[in-house]
Amino acid sequence: MEDVQENQYELASRWSRIGAAIIDSLILSVVMLPLAYFTGGFDGISQNSPVEVPMTYQVLMAALGFGLYCVVNWKFLSESGQTVGKKILNIKVVYTDSSQATVQDLVFKRYAFLLFISYIPWIGGLIGIINLLMIFGKQRRALHDRIANTKVIVS
């Protein structure tokens, strides 16, 4: 069932989408993990009682990570609807009518919306799980695909 076709384009496999997300995360972690370490983000991890990381720090780091994500991927997203991970795995994001999606829709509707909604206690985690599980539907469209009216196809 991995060879689903829609509007003459082959939908990307679930594994290639997950792989692209992992690659993109690894690229960002090269900068974000040392930054978090040197700014005290890991303080208290080895202690027996958990240390609460201030919400302002979490939001600041999320904004920095999002900014870095934009810097790394903006050109590819605007030219071909691909992040670095998607480019490596030969998949891309298009609108559901298979036309090229705008970089603004990709960045703000697909990525920023879910990033910042994840900080809402309980609701953010629940929406994150729903987002992930929706990729297992017949259309292989996660919540962020539906919000941005996009799909991921083989390029």
The pLDDT, as a whole number, for residue 3 is 47
Asked whether residue 21 is domain-assigned, the answer is yes
Asked whether residue 106 is domain-assigned, the answer is yes
Asked whether residue 32 is domain-assigned, the answer is yes
Residue 20 tokens read as 């692209």
Asked whether residue 37 is domain-assigned, the answer is yes
Asked whether residue 2 is domain-assigned, the answer is no
Asked whether residue 40 is domain-assigned, the answer is yes
Choose from 9-18, 34-43, 44-53, 114-123 the range with maximum mean pLDDT. 9-18
Residue 128 tokens read as 């994150």
Asked whether residue 6 is domain-assigned, the answer is no
Question: Which residue range(s) make up the domain with 110?
Answer: 11-154
pLDDT in tens, 65-82: 999 999 999 999 999 999
Per the structure, the count of domains in the chain is 1
> Which residues have CB under 8 Å from 7's CB, separation 6+?
96, 97, 98
CA-to-CA separations, 40 to 34, 64, 90, in angstroms, rounded: 10, 15, 37
Asked whether residue 73 is domain-assigned, the answer is yes
Considering the entire predicted model, what is its pTM? Answer: 0.84
Give the other-Cβ count within 10 Å of 148's Cβ.
23
